[in-house]
Amino acid sequence: MTELRGNWNYPTSIRFGAGRIAELADACRAAGIARPLLVTDRGLAGAPMIAEAILAVRDAGLDIAVFSDIAGDPTGVNVTAGGQALIAHGADGVIAFGGGSALDAGKAVAFATHQDRPLWAFEDVGDNFRLADPARILPIIAVPTTAGTGSEVGRASVIKDEDARRKRIIFHPRMLPVIVIADPALTLGLPAALTAAVGMDALSHNLEAFFAPGYHPLARGIAVEGARLVRDWLPTAVRDGADIQARSHMLAAAEAGATAFQRGLGAMHALAHPLGALYGVHHGLLNAVLMPYVLEANMPAIEGEAAWLAGSLAVGGEAGDLVAWVLALRSEIGIPDTLADIGVPPGETARVARMAVQDPSAASNPITFSQADYAAILERAMAGEHAQPAQGRSRA
């Protein structure tokens, strides 16, 4: 087997390969960090990989502290508490270590703590990012432990505003981590259901980036390869959590998706953000369930491109073949078919649809959906109404 290892700059410095967590202290020095605050989530805080990383950094002579009071969907309160921990430690940089929640929270802590304005002032609306003082943003080292969000190569964080019961995207170019330690060995043993959900999140990023309007051929090409990696390796990663080759390729697919979506996202995320904020359902799982319904709704604008992509992925030659492949992949890896199956209650369709229209991701969907359009997608996703069935399944 060819060793899956390399040093990349897409779009930041990435040290990719099994065992490269051993370079964490060196990465801190390269980033000019002597007193890092390691930000992780509550579930990971007691894991051996965290203890080993802390010990290695301390043995290298760096003064490290840990903050782990991060919810599954990081909140503004979590970011504020992390900022207090950062100030108490006198940290000069952040190690964001974990899944998407820990990465988003760590990036937000490094970005917002020393700014003069509150966190929500930097929501990704217009040119709000220009309100920030770049000199007050601390450097970030990112260490992903799941292969899904790709937040380690992103310039934004999704943070839940609990008062408003909505997720806000906080953006600044300097939120991009300066160095990523992408060690697929850290993702070994991730439970099958979580592997499936985060893997489909990676696919949603690649697909929405591919179909987003606008001219960015570099990002579009990356999205095609990211989708191919998911096609080839996600079923194996779900089936065998110890397969390092599958884990490596899926970590690359996640980073491909987050690199590509500088081209834009779309209606999957515009719906997943309010659904996650209101009902606490896993973000990747929401994208996985919503995916075929949104593709079908977008088909009037993407039919030719969907047929091309289906051919490129060798899943068929017609636009409908792309949707059929998504449905078959979901079935193979155990993704439920409907929003009702994953605990989304009926009754607030109008509210979610209204929030979706306002979500920043909606701006780069191939079709500008109205509130009524989003409500119709939600109704189909609740009931399992597909334009065409997947192979081996009857139409709902």
Per-residue pLDDT of the chain (396 residues; tens, 9 = 90+): 667 888 878 889 999 999 999 999 999 999 999 999 999 999 899 999 999 999 999 999 999 999 999 988 899 999 999 999 999 999 999 999 999 999 999 999 999 999 999 999 999 999 999 999 999 999 999 999 999 899 999 999 999 999 888 899 999 999 999 999 999 999 998 999 999 999 999 999 999 999 999 899 999 999 999 999 999 999 999 999 899 999 999 999 999 999 999 999 999 999 999 999 999 999 999 999 999 999 999 999 999 999 999 999 999 999 999 999 999 999 999 999 999 999 999 888 999 999 999 999 999 999 999 999 999 999 999 999 987 544 433 323
Topology classification of domain 6-186? Rossmann fold (3.40.50)
Predicted local distance difference test score (pLDDT) of residue 1: 62
Predicted local distance difference test score (pLDDT) of residue 388: 59
The domain made up of 190-383 is a member of CATH 1.10.10.10: no
Domain ranges of the chain: 6-186, 190-383
Contact 254, 182 (CB under 8 A): no
Predicted local distance difference test score (pLDDT) of residue 11: 86
Predicted local distance difference test score (pLDDT) of residue 349: 93
